[in-house]
Structure 1
Amino acid sequence: MTLVAGCAITAAQAAPEMKKPKVKVASTAEGQKAMEALEKAQARAQRNANADKPIPSPNIAAPSPALRKRAFDALRSHKPDPRLEERARAARKAGEAQLARDREAMSKRLAEALGLEAPSTMAVAQAVAPKAPGAWVPVLFVSSSMPITTLRTYAGQLERARGVLAFRGMPGGLTKVGPMAKLSAQILRLDPGCEGPACAMRDVQLIVDPILFRQHGVTRVPALGMLPGDPTKPYCEREEEGPASAQSGHLVYGDAALSGMLETYARLGGKEEIRDAETRLERR
Protein backbone atom coordinates (compact mmCIF):
# COMPACT_ATOMS: atom_id res chain seq x y z
CA MET A 1 0.00 0.00 0.00
CA THR A 2 2.89 2.32 0.71
CA LEU A 3 4.21 1.60 -2.78
CA VAL A 4 0.81 2.20 -4.41
CA ALA A 5 0.33 5.47 -2.49
CA GLY A 6 3.79 6.62 -3.49
CA CYS A 7 3.06 5.83 -7.13
CA ALA A 8 -0.22 7.74 -6.92
CA ILE A 9 1.51 10.76 -5.44
CA THR A 10 4.22 10.56 -8.08
CA ALA A 11 1.59 10.32 -10.83
CA ALA A 12 -0.28 13.24 -9.40
CA GLN A 13 2.88 15.36 -9.34
CA ALA A 14 3.79 14.32 -12.88
CA ALA A 15 0.33 15.16 -14.31
CA PRO A 16 0.17 18.59 -16.00
CA GLU A 17 -1.39 21.42 -14.00
CA MET A 18 -4.78 22.45 -15.50
CA LYS A 19 -5.37 26.20 -16.12
CA LYS A 20 -8.52 27.89 -14.82
CA PRO A 21 -10.54 30.02 -17.35
CA LYS A 22 -10.42 33.79 -16.85
CA VAL A 23 -13.76 35.40 -16.16
CA LYS A 24 -14.34 38.93 -17.61
CA VAL A 25 -16.23 41.26 -15.28
CA ALA A 26 -17.75 44.46 -16.72
CA SER A 27 -16.76 47.56 -14.80
CA THR A 28 -19.29 50.00 -13.35
CA ALA A 29 -18.09 52.83 -15.68
CA GLU A 30 -18.71 50.81 -18.84
CA GLY A 31 -22.20 49.94 -17.68
CA GLN A 32 -23.00 53.59 -17.05
CA LYS A 33 -21.82 54.55 -20.55
CA ALA A 34 -24.01 51.86 -22.09
CA MET A 35 -27.06 53.14 -20.20
CA GLU A 36 -26.41 56.72 -21.31
CA ALA A 37 -26.06 55.66 -24.97
CA LEU A 38 -29.36 53.77 -24.69
CA GLU A 39 -31.13 56.78 -23.20
CA LYS A 40 -29.81 59.04 -25.97
CA ALA A 41 -30.96 56.62 -28.65
CA GLN A 42 -34.45 56.49 -27.09
CA ALA A 43 -34.66 60.29 -26.86
CA ARG A 44 -33.54 60.65 -30.50
CA ALA A 45 -36.15 58.19 -31.64
CA GLN A 46 -38.81 60.06 -29.68
CA ARG A 47 -37.82 63.40 -31.28
CA ASN A 48 -37.96 61.91 -34.76
CA ALA A 49 -41.38 60.48 -34.06
CA ASN A 50 -42.67 63.86 -32.80
CA ALA A 51 -41.24 65.67 -35.80
CA ASP A 52 -43.28 63.57 -38.17
CA LYS A 53 -46.52 64.45 -36.42
CA PRO A 54 -48.43 67.47 -37.84
CA ILE A 55 -48.79 70.44 -35.54
CA PRO A 56 -52.46 71.00 -34.84
CA SER A 57 -53.74 74.48 -35.67
CA PRO A 58 -55.21 76.46 -32.79
CA ASN A 59 -58.95 76.46 -32.66
CA ILE A 60 -60.04 80.06 -32.10
CA ALA A 61 -63.65 80.46 -31.39
CA ALA A 62 -65.57 83.04 -33.43
CA PRO A 63 -66.68 86.10 -31.42
CA SER A 64 -70.29 86.18 -30.45
CA PRO A 65 -72.63 88.78 -32.02
CA ALA A 66 -72.83 90.62 -28.70
CA LEU A 67 -69.03 90.86 -28.48
CA ARG A 68 -68.79 92.11 -32.09
CA LYS A 69 -71.43 94.76 -31.41
CA ARG A 70 -69.57 95.97 -28.32
CA ALA A 71 -66.34 96.25 -30.33
CA PHE A 72 -67.91 98.28 -33.15
CA ASP A 73 -69.79 100.50 -30.69
CA ALA A 74 -66.51 101.24 -28.93
CA LEU A 75 -64.88 102.20 -32.24
CA ARG A 76 -67.74 104.52 -33.18
CA SER A 77 -67.77 106.23 -29.80
CA HIS A 78 -64.00 106.85 -29.86
CA LYS A 79 -63.15 110.55 -29.94
CA PRO A 80 -59.77 111.97 -31.00
CA ASP A 81 -57.60 113.15 -28.19
CA PRO A 82 -56.65 116.85 -28.56
CA ARG A 83 -53.41 116.13 -26.77
CA LEU A 84 -52.37 113.63 -29.44
CA GLU A 85 -53.14 116.15 -32.19
CA GLU A 86 -51.09 118.78 -30.41
CA ARG A 87 -48.20 116.37 -30.05
CA ALA A 88 -48.42 115.54 -33.77
CA ARG A 89 -48.32 119.23 -34.72
CA ALA A 90 -45.36 119.81 -32.40
CA ALA A 91 -43.54 116.83 -33.89
CA ARG A 92 -44.16 118.15 -37.39
CA LYS A 93 -42.78 121.58 -36.49
CA ALA A 94 -39.75 119.98 -34.88
CA GLY A 95 -39.16 117.89 -38.00
CA GLU A 96 -39.37 120.94 -40.27
CA ALA A 97 -36.93 122.82 -38.03
CA GLN A 98 -34.51 119.89 -38.07
CA LEU A 99 -34.79 119.68 -41.86
CA ALA A 100 -33.91 123.37 -42.14
CA ARG A 101 -30.88 122.88 -39.89
CA ASP A 102 -29.74 119.88 -41.90
CA ARG A 103 -30.13 121.84 -45.14
CA GLU A 104 -28.04 124.69 -43.77
CA ALA A 105 -25.35 122.29 -42.58
CA MET A 106 -25.21 120.60 -45.99
CA SER A 107 -24.96 124.00 -47.66
CA LYS A 108 -21.97 124.89 -45.51
CA ARG A 109 -20.30 121.61 -46.35
CA LEU A 110 -20.95 122.22 -50.04
CA ALA A 111 -19.43 125.69 -49.66
CA GLU A 112 -16.27 124.20 -48.19
CA ALA A 113 -16.05 121.61 -50.98
CA LEU A 114 -16.57 124.08 -53.81
CA GLY A 115 -14.78 127.03 -52.24
CA LEU A 116 -17.95 129.10 -52.18
CA GLU A 117 -19.13 131.54 -49.59
CA ALA A 118 -21.88 130.21 -47.38
CA PRO A 119 -24.34 133.01 -48.32
CA SER A 120 -23.70 132.45 -52.02
CA THR A 121 -24.26 128.74 -51.62
CA MET A 122 -27.54 129.33 -49.79
CA ALA A 123 -28.66 131.67 -52.53
CA VAL A 124 -27.88 129.04 -55.16
CA ALA A 125 -29.64 126.32 -53.16
CA GLN A 126 -32.78 128.40 -52.66
CA ALA A 127 -32.89 129.95 -56.12
CA VAL A 128 -35.60 128.87 -58.52
CA ALA A 129 -34.55 129.77 -62.04
CA PRO A 130 -36.37 130.53 -64.14
CA LYS A 131 -39.41 131.78 -62.23
CA ALA A 132 -41.59 132.62 -65.22
CA PRO A 133 -43.71 129.68 -66.41
CA GLY A 134 -42.87 128.44 -69.86
CA ALA A 135 -39.46 130.14 -69.88
CA TRP A 136 -36.58 128.63 -71.87
CA VAL A 137 -33.16 128.15 -70.29
CA PRO A 138 -29.94 128.13 -72.35
CA VAL A 139 -27.99 124.97 -71.57
CA LEU A 140 -24.42 124.78 -72.78
CA PHE A 141 -23.09 121.22 -73.07
CA VAL A 142 -19.39 121.25 -72.15
CA SER A 143 -16.63 118.88 -71.03
CA SER A 144 -13.96 118.95 -68.34
CA SER A 145 -11.40 118.42 -71.10
CA MET A 146 -12.07 121.92 -72.45
CA PRO A 147 -9.61 124.68 -71.45
CA ILE A 148 -10.40 126.36 -68.14
CA THR A 149 -10.22 129.79 -69.76
CA THR A 150 -12.92 128.81 -72.26
CA LEU A 151 -15.15 127.41 -69.52
CA ARG A 152 -14.68 130.57 -67.45
CA THR A 153 -15.64 132.74 -70.43
CA TYR A 154 -18.81 130.74 -71.04
CA ALA A 155 -19.65 130.90 -67.31
CA GLY A 156 -19.50 134.70 -67.41
CA GLN A 157 -21.79 134.83 -70.46
CA LEU A 158 -24.25 132.30 -69.05
CA GLU A 159 -24.43 134.25 -65.79
CA ARG A 160 -25.86 137.20 -67.69
CA ALA A 161 -28.23 135.00 -69.71
CA ARG A 162 -29.22 132.91 -66.65
CA GLY A 163 -28.03 129.76 -68.33
CA VAL A 164 -26.57 126.45 -67.14
CA LEU A 165 -23.32 124.60 -67.78
CA ALA A 166 -23.95 120.87 -68.30
CA PHE A 167 -21.29 118.16 -67.97
CA ARG A 168 -21.70 114.54 -69.06
CA GLY A 169 -19.73 113.22 -66.07
CA MET A 170 -17.21 114.17 -63.43
CA PRO A 171 -13.44 114.05 -63.82
CA GLY A 172 -12.16 110.94 -62.08
CA GLY A 173 -15.56 109.22 -62.19
CA LEU A 174 -18.87 109.66 -60.41
CA THR A 175 -17.46 108.18 -57.19
CA LYS A 176 -14.96 111.02 -56.76
CA VAL A 177 -16.38 114.44 -55.91
CA GLY A 178 -13.10 116.19 -55.14
CA PRO A 179 -11.89 116.73 -58.75
CA MET A 180 -15.31 118.06 -59.82
CA ALA A 181 -15.43 120.40 -56.82
CA LYS A 182 -12.01 121.77 -57.72
CA LEU A 183 -13.00 122.23 -61.37
CA SER A 184 -16.24 124.00 -60.38
CA ALA A 185 -14.34 126.41 -58.15
CA GLN A 186 -11.86 127.18 -60.95
CA ILE A 187 -14.72 127.93 -63.35
CA LEU A 188 -16.88 130.01 -61.00
CA ARG A 189 -14.29 132.14 -59.18
CA LEU A 190 -14.34 135.76 -60.28
CA ASP A 191 -10.66 136.03 -59.43
CA PRO A 192 -8.80 132.97 -60.75
CA GLY A 193 -5.96 133.59 -58.30
CA CYS A 194 -8.22 133.58 -55.23
CA GLU A 195 -8.06 130.63 -52.85
CA GLY A 196 -10.31 129.63 -49.96
CA PRO A 197 -14.02 129.85 -49.08
CA ALA A 198 -14.11 133.65 -49.08
CA CYS A 199 -13.65 133.95 -52.85
CA ALA A 200 -16.49 135.60 -54.77
CA MET A 201 -18.25 133.30 -57.25
CA ARG A 202 -20.34 133.72 -60.36
CA ASP A 203 -24.08 133.09 -60.05
CA VAL A 204 -24.32 130.31 -62.62
CA GLN A 205 -25.23 126.70 -62.01
CA LEU A 206 -23.30 123.60 -63.07
CA ILE A 207 -24.99 120.23 -63.51
CA VAL A 208 -23.73 116.71 -64.21
CA ASP A 209 -26.40 114.97 -66.29
CA PRO A 210 -25.45 112.11 -68.63
CA ILE A 211 -29.15 111.51 -69.36
CA LEU A 212 -29.45 115.01 -70.80
CA PHE A 213 -26.52 114.33 -73.13
CA ARG A 214 -28.05 111.04 -74.25
CA GLN A 215 -31.51 112.56 -74.81
CA HIS A 216 -30.08 115.22 -77.11
CA GLY A 217 -27.51 112.99 -78.78
CA VAL A 218 -24.65 115.38 -78.00
CA THR A 219 -21.53 113.99 -79.65
CA ARG A 220 -19.18 116.97 -79.38
CA VAL A 221 -18.86 120.09 -77.27
CA PRO A 222 -19.53 122.91 -76.87
CA ALA A 223 -23.18 122.62 -77.91
CA LEU A 224 -26.07 124.96 -77.10
CA GLY A 225 -29.66 123.90 -76.49
CA MET A 226 -32.74 125.67 -75.10
CA LEU A 227 -34.73 123.68 -72.53
CA PRO A 228 -38.18 124.50 -71.15
CA GLY A 229 -38.40 124.74 -67.38
CA ASP A 230 -35.51 124.31 -64.98
CA PRO A 231 -32.94 121.68 -66.04
CA THR A 232 -31.27 121.84 -62.61
CA LYS A 233 -34.30 120.25 -60.93
CA PRO A 234 -34.59 116.49 -60.42
CA TYR A 235 -36.46 114.76 -63.22
CA CYS A 236 -39.39 113.87 -60.96
CA GLU A 237 -39.94 117.57 -60.14
CA ARG A 238 -39.83 118.85 -63.72
CA GLU A 239 -43.31 117.48 -64.41
CA GLU A 240 -44.77 120.62 -62.80
CA GLU A 241 -43.31 122.81 -65.56
CA GLY A 242 -43.30 120.30 -68.39
CA PRO A 243 -42.44 116.70 -69.15
CA ALA A 244 -39.05 115.58 -67.87
CA SER A 245 -38.28 114.24 -71.35
CA ALA A 246 -38.73 117.68 -73.01
CA GLN A 247 -35.84 118.35 -75.36
CA SER A 248 -34.35 121.32 -77.08
CA GLY A 249 -35.76 121.95 -80.53
CA HIS A 250 -32.29 122.55 -82.00
CA LEU A 251 -28.62 122.09 -81.14
CA VAL A 252 -25.90 124.56 -82.12
CA TYR A 253 -22.34 123.24 -82.23
CA GLY A 254 -19.19 125.32 -82.40
CA ASP A 255 -16.62 127.11 -80.28
CA ALA A 256 -18.21 130.57 -80.57
CA ALA A 257 -19.48 133.27 -78.25
CA LEU A 258 -22.83 132.63 -76.58
CA SER A 259 -24.42 135.54 -78.45
CA GLY A 260 -23.38 134.05 -81.80
CA MET A 261 -24.71 130.62 -80.81
CA LEU A 262 -28.05 132.20 -79.83
CA GLU A 263 -28.25 133.96 -83.20
CA THR A 264 -27.61 130.67 -84.99
CA TYR A 265 -30.29 129.01 -82.88
CA ALA A 266 -32.77 131.74 -83.88
CA ARG A 267 -31.99 131.19 -87.58
CA LEU A 268 -32.75 127.49 -87.16
CA GLY A 269 -36.28 128.37 -86.08
CA GLY A 270 -35.92 129.01 -82.34
CA LYS A 271 -36.31 132.79 -82.36
CA GLU A 272 -39.06 132.72 -79.72
CA GLU A 273 -37.08 130.37 -77.47
CA ILE A 274 -33.94 132.54 -77.28
CA ARG A 275 -35.75 135.89 -76.92
CA ASP A 276 -35.51 136.16 -73.11
CA ALA A 277 -31.92 134.90 -72.92
CA GLU A 278 -30.82 137.21 -75.70
CA THR A 279 -32.49 140.20 -74.05
CA ARG A 280 -30.77 139.50 -70.71
CA LEU A 281 -27.43 139.00 -72.43
CA GLU A 282 -27.67 142.35 -74.24
CA ARG A 283 -28.96 144.24 -71.21
CA ARG A 284 -25.81 143.80 -69.12
Structure 2
Amino acid sequence: MSVTAAQEAPLDRLADAMEKRKPAKTVGPSYLPAPTPAMKRRAFEAMRRRVQAPALEVRANAAQAAAREGLAVSQEAMNARIYQALGLAAPGLQDEVAPIPTRQPKMGFVPLLFASSSMPVETLRTYAVQLERVGGVIAFRGMPGGMRQVAPMAELTAKMLRIDPGCEGPACAMRDVQVVVDPILFRQHGVGRVPAFAMVPGDPTQPYCEREDEAGPRASHLIYGDAALSGLVEEYARLGGKEEVSDAAARLSRR
Protein backbone atom coordinates (compact mmCIF):
# COMPACT_ATOMS: atom_id res chain seq x y z
CA MET A 1 0.00 0.00 0.00
CA SER A 2 1.35 3.43 -0.90
CA VAL A 3 1.90 6.19 1.65
CA THR A 4 -0.91 8.26 0.16
CA ALA A 5 -3.39 5.39 0.36
CA ALA A 6 -2.37 4.71 3.95
CA GLN A 7 -3.04 8.35 4.81
CA GLU A 8 -6.41 8.45 3.04
CA ALA A 9 -7.80 5.24 4.52
CA PRO A 10 -8.35 6.67 8.05
CA LEU A 11 -9.95 9.77 6.53
CA ASP A 12 -12.35 7.64 4.51
CA ARG A 13 -13.32 5.64 7.57
CA LEU A 14 -13.93 8.88 9.52
CA ALA A 15 -16.10 10.25 6.74
CA ASP A 16 -18.12 7.01 6.61
CA ALA A 17 -18.62 7.10 10.36
CA MET A 18 -19.80 10.71 10.30
CA GLU A 19 -22.18 9.95 7.44
CA LYS A 20 -23.70 7.09 9.39
CA ARG A 21 -24.24 9.32 12.40
CA LYS A 22 -26.28 11.79 10.35
CA PRO A 23 -30.05 11.47 10.88
CA ALA A 24 -31.90 9.77 8.10
CA LYS A 25 -33.31 12.20 5.55
CA THR A 26 -36.56 10.32 5.40
CA VAL A 27 -37.61 11.06 8.98
CA GLY A 28 -38.29 14.14 11.05
CA PRO A 29 -41.01 16.80 11.24
CA SER A 30 -39.46 18.94 8.49
CA TYR A 31 -39.06 16.13 5.98
CA LEU A 32 -41.26 16.31 2.89
CA PRO A 33 -41.16 13.33 0.57
CA ALA A 34 -40.87 13.92 -3.13
CA PRO A 35 -44.38 13.45 -4.54
CA THR A 36 -44.78 10.51 -6.87
CA PRO A 37 -47.19 10.61 -9.83
CA ALA A 38 -49.63 8.48 -7.83
CA MET A 39 -49.50 10.92 -4.89
CA LYS A 40 -50.11 13.87 -7.21
CA ARG A 41 -53.07 12.08 -8.79
CA ARG A 42 -54.64 11.36 -5.40
CA ALA A 43 -54.15 14.98 -4.33
CA PHE A 44 -55.92 16.36 -7.39
CA GLU A 45 -58.75 13.87 -6.98
CA ALA A 46 -59.19 14.94 -3.35
CA MET A 47 -59.34 18.57 -4.39
CA ARG A 48 -62.05 17.82 -6.93
CA ARG A 49 -64.05 15.97 -4.29
CA ARG A 50 -63.75 18.88 -1.82
CA VAL A 51 -67.07 19.58 -0.16
CA GLN A 52 -68.37 23.10 -0.79
CA ALA A 53 -69.49 24.93 2.37
CA PRO A 54 -71.26 28.18 1.41
CA ALA A 55 -72.44 28.78 4.98
CA LEU A 56 -68.87 28.61 6.26
CA GLU A 57 -67.70 31.08 3.63
CA VAL A 58 -70.52 33.46 4.58
CA ARG A 59 -69.49 33.28 8.24
CA ALA A 60 -65.86 33.89 7.34
CA ASN A 61 -66.76 36.92 5.23
CA ALA A 62 -68.98 38.27 8.01
CA ALA A 63 -66.20 37.83 10.56
CA GLN A 64 -63.76 39.63 8.26
CA ALA A 65 -66.20 42.54 7.78
CA ALA A 66 -66.79 42.78 11.54
CA ALA A 67 -63.05 42.84 12.20
CA ARG A 68 -62.59 45.57 9.61
CA GLU A 69 -65.38 47.63 11.16
CA GLY A 70 -63.96 47.14 14.63
CA LEU A 71 -60.55 48.30 13.45
CA ALA A 72 -62.10 51.44 11.94
CA VAL A 73 -63.86 52.23 15.23
CA SER A 74 -60.62 51.75 17.15
CA GLN A 75 -58.78 54.04 14.76
CA GLU A 76 -61.43 56.74 15.15
CA ALA A 77 -61.19 56.51 18.94
CA MET A 78 -57.40 56.75 18.78
CA ASN A 79 -57.62 59.74 16.44
CA ALA A 80 -59.97 61.41 18.91
CA ARG A 81 -57.44 60.93 21.71
CA ILE A 82 -54.63 62.30 19.55
CA TYR A 83 -56.69 65.36 18.57
CA GLN A 84 -57.56 65.84 22.23
CA ALA A 85 -53.91 65.70 23.26
CA LEU A 86 -52.91 68.12 20.49
CA GLY A 87 -55.65 70.57 21.43
CA LEU A 88 -57.59 70.06 18.21
CA ALA A 89 -61.21 69.10 17.60
CA ALA A 90 -61.58 65.73 15.93
CA PRO A 91 -63.86 66.05 12.86
CA GLY A 92 -67.23 64.40 13.54
CA LEU A 93 -66.22 63.30 17.04
CA GLN A 94 -66.74 66.48 19.08
CA ASP A 95 -69.51 64.87 21.10
CA GLU A 96 -67.42 61.83 21.97
CA VAL A 97 -64.43 63.57 23.49
CA ALA A 98 -64.05 66.02 26.32
CA PRO A 99 -64.55 69.67 25.30
CA ILE A 100 -61.39 71.56 24.48
CA PRO A 101 -61.00 75.26 25.26
CA THR A 102 -60.80 77.13 21.98
CA ARG A 103 -59.46 80.61 21.40
CA GLN A 104 -59.60 82.72 18.29
CA PRO A 105 -56.20 84.37 17.89
CA LYS A 106 -56.70 88.10 17.77
CA MET A 107 -55.08 90.34 15.22
CA GLY A 108 -51.93 92.10 16.30
CA PHE A 109 -48.73 90.59 17.64
CA VAL A 110 -48.78 87.09 19.09
CA PRO A 111 -46.05 85.87 21.49
CA LEU A 112 -44.36 82.89 19.83
CA LEU A 113 -41.92 80.57 21.52
CA PHE A 114 -39.76 78.40 19.27
CA ALA A 115 -39.20 75.11 21.08
CA SER A 116 -37.92 71.58 20.56
CA SER A 117 -38.74 68.13 21.86
CA SER A 118 -35.18 67.99 23.17
CA MET A 119 -36.04 70.60 25.80
CA PRO A 120 -36.94 69.27 29.28
CA VAL A 121 -40.66 68.72 29.73
CA GLU A 122 -40.65 70.81 32.92
CA THR A 123 -39.22 73.74 30.99
CA LEU A 124 -41.91 73.37 28.34
CA ARG A 125 -44.58 73.18 31.05
CA THR A 126 -43.29 76.38 32.65
CA TYR A 127 -43.42 78.21 29.33
CA ALA A 128 -46.94 76.86 28.72
CA VAL A 129 -48.13 78.36 32.03
CA GLN A 130 -46.65 81.75 31.12
CA LEU A 131 -47.80 81.75 27.49
CA GLU A 132 -51.37 80.93 28.54
CA ARG A 133 -51.49 84.28 30.34
CA VAL A 134 -50.56 86.22 27.18
CA GLY A 135 -52.31 84.12 24.53
CA GLY A 136 -49.03 82.80 23.19
CA VAL A 137 -48.14 79.96 20.83
CA ILE A 138 -45.47 77.26 20.98
CA ALA A 139 -43.90 76.22 17.68
CA PHE A 140 -41.89 73.10 16.90
CA ARG A 141 -39.79 72.58 13.80
CA GLY A 142 -40.86 68.95 13.48
CA MET A 143 -42.32 66.05 15.42
CA PRO A 144 -40.30 63.61 17.53
CA GLY A 145 -39.96 60.36 15.63
CA GLY A 146 -40.61 62.01 12.26
CA MET A 147 -43.59 63.53 10.52
CA ARG A 148 -45.19 60.12 9.96
CA GLN A 149 -45.46 59.41 13.67
CA VAL A 150 -48.10 61.49 15.43
CA ALA A 151 -48.24 59.59 18.73
CA PRO A 152 -44.89 60.84 20.17
CA MET A 153 -45.88 64.46 19.44
CA ALA A 154 -49.31 63.91 20.97
CA GLU A 155 -47.71 62.46 24.09
CA LEU A 156 -45.27 65.36 24.39
CA THR A 157 -48.05 67.93 23.90
CA ALA A 158 -50.20 66.23 26.51
CA LYS A 159 -47.37 66.25 29.06
CA MET A 160 -46.66 69.88 28.26
CA LEU A 161 -50.22 71.23 28.44
CA ARG A 162 -51.85 69.11 31.17
CA ILE A 163 -52.78 71.30 34.09
CA ASP A 164 -52.43 68.30 36.40
CA PRO A 165 -49.24 66.45 35.39
CA GLY A 166 -50.51 63.31 37.11
CA CYS A 167 -53.70 63.13 35.05
CA GLU A 168 -53.98 60.40 32.46
CA GLY A 169 -56.41 59.98 29.57
CA PRO A 170 -58.14 62.19 27.01
CA ALA A 171 -60.41 63.90 29.58
CA CYS A 172 -57.56 65.77 31.31
CA ALA A 173 -57.87 69.56 31.46
CA MET A 174 -55.38 71.28 29.16
CA ARG A 175 -53.90 74.76 29.16
CA ASP A 176 -55.24 77.12 26.52
CA VAL A 177 -52.02 77.32 24.52
CA GLN A 178 -51.83 76.63 20.81
CA VAL A 179 -49.07 74.26 19.63
CA VAL A 180 -47.99 74.19 15.99
CA VAL A 181 -45.49 72.17 13.99
CA ASP A 182 -44.23 74.55 11.32
CA PRO A 183 -40.70 74.32 9.91
CA ILE A 184 -41.49 77.29 7.66
CA LEU A 185 -41.75 79.59 10.69
CA PHE A 186 -38.31 78.41 11.81
CA ARG A 187 -36.85 79.02 8.36
CA GLN A 188 -38.47 82.45 7.98
CA HIS A 189 -37.03 83.65 11.27
CA GLY A 190 -33.68 81.90 10.85
CA VAL A 191 -34.00 80.13 14.18
CA GLY A 192 -30.76 78.30 14.85
CA ARG A 193 -31.30 77.19 18.44
CA VAL A 194 -34.07 76.99 21.00
CA PRO A 195 -35.69 78.31 23.03
CA ALA A 196 -36.21 81.48 21.01
CA PHE A 197 -38.87 84.15 21.43
CA ALA A 198 -40.56 86.50 18.97
CA MET A 199 -43.68 88.65 18.58
CA VAL A 200 -45.26 87.53 15.32
CA PRO A 201 -47.73 89.75 13.46
CA GLY A 202 -50.97 88.01 12.56
CA ASP A 203 -51.81 84.40 13.34
CA PRO A 204 -48.87 81.97 13.44
CA THR A 205 -51.27 79.03 13.82
CA GLN A 206 -52.83 79.62 10.42
CA PRO A 207 -51.84 76.97 7.84
CA TYR A 208 -49.19 78.15 5.41
CA CYS A 209 -51.43 77.55 2.37
CA GLU A 210 -54.10 79.86 3.84
CA ARG A 211 -51.86 82.81 4.66
CA GLU A 212 -52.40 85.93 2.62
CA ASP A 213 -48.71 86.76 2.55
CA GLU A 214 -46.63 84.03 0.93
CA ALA A 215 -43.71 84.93 3.15
CA GLY A 216 -45.87 84.46 6.23
CA PRO A 217 -45.81 86.52 9.44
CA ARG A 218 -42.36 87.55 10.57
CA ALA A 219 -41.18 89.18 13.76
CA SER A 220 -38.89 92.19 13.80
CA HIS A 221 -36.68 90.73 16.55
CA LEU A 222 -35.66 87.29 17.81
CA ILE A 223 -34.58 86.67 21.40
CA TYR A 224 -32.57 83.58 22.33
CA GLY A 225 -32.13 82.14 25.79
CA ASP A 226 -33.84 80.00 28.42
CA ALA A 227 -35.27 82.79 30.53
CA ALA A 228 -38.62 83.64 32.08
CA LEU A 229 -41.17 84.96 29.61
CA SER A 230 -41.20 88.31 31.38
CA GLY A 231 -37.46 88.63 30.81
CA LEU A 232 -37.82 87.74 27.13
CA VAL A 233 -40.57 90.35 26.75
CA GLU A 234 -38.43 93.00 28.42
CA GLU A 235 -35.48 92.21 26.14
CA TYR A 236 -37.74 92.37 23.09
CA ALA A 237 -38.96 95.81 24.18
CA ARG A 238 -35.38 96.99 24.76
CA LEU A 239 -34.48 96.07 21.17
CA GLY A 240 -37.22 98.33 19.83
CA GLY A 241 -40.36 96.22 20.08
CA LYS A 242 -41.99 98.07 22.97
CA GLU A 243 -45.30 98.55 21.16
CA GLU A 244 -45.34 94.95 20.00
CA VAL A 245 -45.03 93.56 23.52
CA SER A 246 -47.18 96.17 25.28
CA ASP A 247 -50.21 93.89 25.58
CA ALA A 248 -48.17 90.85 26.66
CA ALA A 249 -46.26 92.93 29.21
CA ALA A 250 -49.51 94.26 30.67
CA ARG A 251 -50.92 90.77 31.04
CA LEU A 252 -47.78 89.46 32.69
CA SER A 253 -47.78 92.34 35.17
CA ARG A 254 -51.24 91.40 36.45
CA ARG A 255 -51.30 89.25 39.56
Report TM bin, short chain: 0.5 to 0.7
Number of the residue aligned with 1:155: 128
Give the Cα–Cα distance (whole angstroms) in 2 for the partners of residues 236 and 175 of structure 1.
Answer: 20
Alpha-carbon deviations, 1:153-205, whole Å to 9, x = none?
00000000100000000000000000000000000001111101221110001
Letter in 2 for 1:112: R
Contact 2:203-2:217 at 8 Å conserved across structures:
no
Matches within 5 A, 1:165-184: 165-184=138-157
Deviation track 1:61-116 (CA, whole Å, cap 9, x = no partner) reads xxxxxxxxxxxxxxxxxxxxxxxxxxxxxxxxxxxxxxxxxxxxx99865511446
- Aligned residues, how many? 170
Deviation by residue 1:139-165 (Cα, 9 ceiling, x = unmatched): 000100000000000000000010000
Taking the TM superposition and a 5 Å limit, the aligned residue runs for 1:181-260 are: 181-239=154-212, 244-260=215-231
Post-superposition offset of 1:283: 2.3
Q: Which residue of 2 aligns with 1:128?
A: 104
Answer yes or no: is 1:265 the counterpart of 2:230.
no
Amino acid at match of 1:161: V
Q: Is the 8 A contact 1:137 1:162 kept in 2?
A: yes
Are the aligned partners of 1:157 and 1:258 in contact in 2 as well (CA < 8 Å)? yes
Report the equivalent of 1:119: 99
- 8 Å contact from structure 1 (residues 108, 118) kept in 2: no
Q: Bigger radius of gyration, 1 or 2?
A: 1
Between the aligned partners of 1:142 and 1:149, the Cα distance in structure 2 is 13
Distance in 2 (alpha carbons) for counterparts of 1:112 and 1:160: 26
The letter of the residue matching 1:169 is G
SS of match in other structure, 2:197: strand
C-alpha RMSD of matched pairs (Å):
2.1
TM-score normalized by the length of structure 1 = 0.56
CA drift at 1:238: 2.9
Structure-2 change in CA distance of 1:279 and 1:109 (3 Å): farther
Identity %: 64
The answer to whether residue 126 in structure 2 is matched with residue 146 in structure 1 is no
1-structure distance, mates of 2:182, 2:105: 17
* C-alpha distance in structure 1 between counterparts of 2:99 and 2:251, whole Å: 24
Q: Over residues 229-261 of structure 1, what are the superposed CA-to-partner deviations in whole Å (9 max), with x where a residue is unaligned?
A: 11001123332xx66433110000011000000
Give the counterpart letter for 1:214 in structure 2. R
SS at match of 1:224: strand
In the alignment, is the contact (CA less than 8 A) between 2:200 and 2:217 conserved in 1? Answer: yes
Q: Which residue of 1 aligns with 2:47?
A: none
Distance in 2 of aligned mates of 1:110 and 1:275: 39
Contact 2:113 2:195 in 1 (8 A): yes
Matched to 2:135, the amino acid is: R
| Aligned counterparts of 1:243 and 1:176: Cα–Cα separation in 2 | 28
Q: Which amino acid aligns with 1:149?
A: E
Matches within 5 A, 1:10-29: none
Any gaps of 5 or more consecutive residues in structure 1?
A: 1-105
CA separation of 1:238/1:222 partners in 2, compared to 1, >3 Å: closer, same or farther?
A: same
3-state DSSP of counterpart to 1:187: helix
- SS of the residue 1:118 aligns to: coil
Structure 2 segments unaligned to the other structure (5+ residues): 1-74, 88-96
C-alpha separation in 2, matches of 1:109 and 1:184:
15
User: Where is the helix percentage greater, Structure 1 or Structure 2?
Assistant: 1
Whether the aligned pair in 2 keeps the contact of 1:229 and 1:238 (CA below 8 Å) is no
2:251 alignment counterpart: 280
* Helix, strand or coil at the partner of 1:119: coil
Report the Cα offset of residue 118 of structure 1. 2.7
Q: 1:110 to 1:272 in 2, by over 3 A?
A: farther
Give the aligned residue type for 2:198: G
Normalising by the residue count of structure 2, what TM-score does the alignment of the two structures yield? 0.62
